[in-house]
């Protein structure tokens, strides 16, 4: 495969980084170099933020009709679909995920642009009755320059969901994709470049998180930061924003449970339990990484899960298996360390727990789908996010025990509830401390219309749906005496 050099996108131009340094992005399935990418640093971030600020303050953007913002977002959605196969292949090569999942990511990205295109001219204020002689009303105005720091697991989807909402509400954008998976973000910049969006409204700087990402989260002229990633990095982003008194939206880790009651539809539940942990090789913040099963059906249900996990096909993303590789050696080594800790904690491996070794997969980081039993719910492996196709099983007797187990981590992103008893389903849902609760399904983040975010260390603020528009607007009250 020919290795290409990719540039930064600043103020409507494709430019080299100030230092003219580059880094490589690799295919996780075989280690092959896919492209060389600019190593943007503080000077490049500063140039991008200045371009975004100038664009935001310009007469062109300030007077740009909201309906025309929407039309441009629709156009970007159309271009994503027209180029879907190329972009899906790029996502698969860069992340390692199966091609079918790459295609779904492209469609999801298009749906975000489409959804927020429809909202661009529907950002309403309110009138407030105060007293006779006073007309009081509110305006929702764009917050300004928005920063978007994107993780490596769903680079196109996650960039699209926040950027589309930010532009729909009249903001300007500086985006920093993960250094591991920058290629679809750069492709999106190509499509935006041809969309008719004014120069400087969208800017993209590739680089390392410790350099470009830190510079962006600490920049004084950024008005809002959206970050998706680890708790540790999210805390650092918050500290940078705090110094400049800037708001943040954080979507961080998860240790999400599926709660399986004895009266559930086992066939449906098993299918979704497995899907929720093997999607993107388990490298999903909302992955169903804990499996809580009522005692009376635990062994029967676990056996079905194990059988389905053993049947999962493993291979290179371009061959479209069920399960692709772990992203890189660093992440793979971390997974192995978790497995060692699990063994020391007394875990019983019902299947998996090892590297997948087969001809043709020698140069990739392929890990077997894994089911663990016999862990203490308070143990390290039961509490911390692994980011791999690894699910840990636990049992409960009563509804109250199930709720206690489900809420028994520092995270609170997603929960699945499996039962035919609708009253029980709602009782449990009301007591779960998680941002999304799925009953008899597991959306792993769900559709573009559904607000998504966490409780506790899973972050705060909400992305997706109408709720996300609040991230990118600021409320002004106006009182007129007449």
By annotation, the residues acting in catalysis are: 251
Question: Per the structure block, which two tokens stand in for 329?
Answer: 């050696």
- Judge contact between 353 and 372, C-beta under 8 A: yes
Q: Which of 48, 4, 9 is nearest to 22 (CA)?
A: 4
The whole-angstrom separation of Cα 401 and Cα 51 is 54
Helix (H, G, I), strand (E, B) or coil at 361: coil
Q: Is the dihedral of CA 335, 311, 437, 280 positive or negative?
A: positive
* Rounded Cα gap, residues 203 and 290, in angstroms: 39
CA distances from 135 to 121, 132, 225, 328 (A): 23, 8, 34, 59
Q: How far apart are CA 55 and CA 49, in angstroms?
A: 10
What is the C-alpha separation between 432 and 407, in angstroms, rounded? 6
Paired strand residues for 370:
390
Q: Which secondary-structure segment (H or E) carries 383?
A: helix 380-383
Cα angle 418, 421, 423; round to 5 = 110
Angle between helices 99-117 and 155-168 (to 10 degrees): 0
| Residue 355, both tokens | 């590297």
Distance, CA of 345 to CA of 11 (rounded, Å):
53
Q: Strand, helix or coil at 212?
A: helix
Cα(450)–Cα(276) distance, integer angstroms: 18
Helices (H), 194-293: 214-217, 231-243, 266-278
Go through 284-318 and write b for each residue having 16 or more CB atoms within 10 A of its CB, e for each that does not: bbbbbbbbbbbeebbeebbebbbebbeebebbbbb
């Amino acid at each position: 495969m020919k290795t290409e050099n990719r540039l930064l996108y600043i103020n409507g131009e494709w430019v080299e980084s100030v230092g003219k340094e580059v880094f490589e992005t690799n295919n996780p399935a075989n280690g092959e170099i896919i492209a060389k990418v600019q190593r943007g640093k503080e000077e490049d971030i500063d140039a991008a933020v200045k371009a975004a600020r100038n664009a935001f303050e310009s007469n062109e953007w300030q007077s740009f009709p909201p309906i025309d913002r929407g039309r441009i977002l629709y156009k970007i959605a159309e271009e994503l679909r027209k180029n879907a196969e190329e972009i899906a292949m790029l996502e698969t090569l860069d992340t390692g995920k199966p091609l079918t999942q790459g295609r779904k990511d492209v469609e999801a990205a298009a749906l975000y642009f489409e959804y927020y295109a429809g909202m661009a001219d529907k950002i309403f204020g309110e009138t407030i009755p105060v007293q006779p002689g006073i007309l009081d009303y509110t305006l929702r105005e764009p917050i300004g320059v928005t920063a978007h720091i994107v993780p490596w697991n769903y680079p196109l989807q996650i960039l699209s969901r926040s950027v589309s909402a930010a532009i729909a509400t009249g903001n300007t954008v500086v985006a920093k994709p993960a250094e591991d998976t920058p290629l679809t973000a750069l492709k999106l910049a190509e499509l935006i470049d041809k969309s008719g969006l004014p120069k400087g409204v969208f800017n993209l700087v590739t680089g390392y998180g410790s350099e470009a990402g830190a510079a962006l989260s600490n920049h004084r002229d950024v008005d809002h930061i959206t970050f998706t990633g680890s708790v540790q990095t999210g805390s650092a982003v918050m500290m940078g924003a705090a110094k400049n008194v800037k708001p943040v939206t954080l979507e961080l880790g998860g240790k999400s449970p599926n709660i399986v009651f004895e009266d559930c539809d086992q066939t449906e539940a098993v299918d979704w339990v497995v899907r929720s942990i093997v999607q993107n090789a388990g490298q999903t913040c909302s992955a169903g990484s804990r499996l809580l099963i009522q005692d009376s059906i635990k062994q029967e249900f676990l056996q079905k899960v194990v059988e389905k996990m053993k049947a999962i096909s493993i291979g290179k993303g371009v061959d479209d298996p069920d399960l692709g590789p772990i992203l890189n050696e660093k992440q793979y080594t971390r997974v192995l360390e978790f497995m060692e800790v699990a063994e020391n904690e007394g875990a019983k491996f019902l299947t998996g727990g090892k590297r997948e070794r087969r001809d043709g997969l020698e140069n990739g980081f392929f890990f077997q789908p894994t089911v663990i039993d016999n862990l203490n719910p308070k143990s390290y492996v039961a509490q911390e996010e692994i980011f791999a196709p690894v699910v840990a099983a636990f049992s409960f007797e009563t509804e109250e025990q199930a709720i206690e187990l489900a809420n028994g981590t520092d995270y609170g992103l997603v929960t699945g509830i499996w039962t035919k008893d609708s009253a029980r389903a709602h009782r449990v849902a009301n007591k779960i401390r998680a941002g999304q609760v799925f009953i008899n399904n597991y959306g792993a983040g769900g559709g573009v219309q559904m607000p998504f975010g966490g409780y506790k260390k899973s972050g705060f603020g909400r992305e997706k749906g109408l709720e996300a528009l609040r991230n990118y607007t600021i409320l002004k009250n106006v009182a007129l005496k007449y």
